[in-house]
Amino acid sequence: MRVKNVHSVFVSEVVSSVMVSIQERNISESIGLSDAEAYNAPVDLIVGEIGVD
């Protein structure tokens, strides 16, 4: 699999921020996703947008 050229440190900071928001229950309160759904969303986004077949 080829991947798009992205700034990996930026991507890791974004994912880290999302993980903290999930742990603090901000995601479930603001948009109504369960923890499981919220943890899967960044994976779908990153694999879907950065990964290129």
Letter string b/e over residues 15-41, b meaning 16 or more CB atoms within 10 A of that residue's CB: eeebeeebeeeebeeeeeeeeeebeee
At residue 2, the pLDDT reads 66
At residue 5, the pLDDT reads 80
Residue 16 host element (H or E): helix 8-23
State the average pLDDT over residues 16-26.
93
- Is the predicted pLDDT of residue 1 greater than 60, yes or no? no
Provide the percentage of residues in the chain whose pLDDT is more than 90.
Answer: 38
- pTM tops 0.75, yes or no: no
Write down the residue that tokens 């960044």 correspond to: 42
User: Number of folded domains in the chain?
Assistant: 1
- Is the predicted pLDDT of residue 24 greater than 90, yes or no? yes
Q: Which domain holds residue 32?
A: 2-52
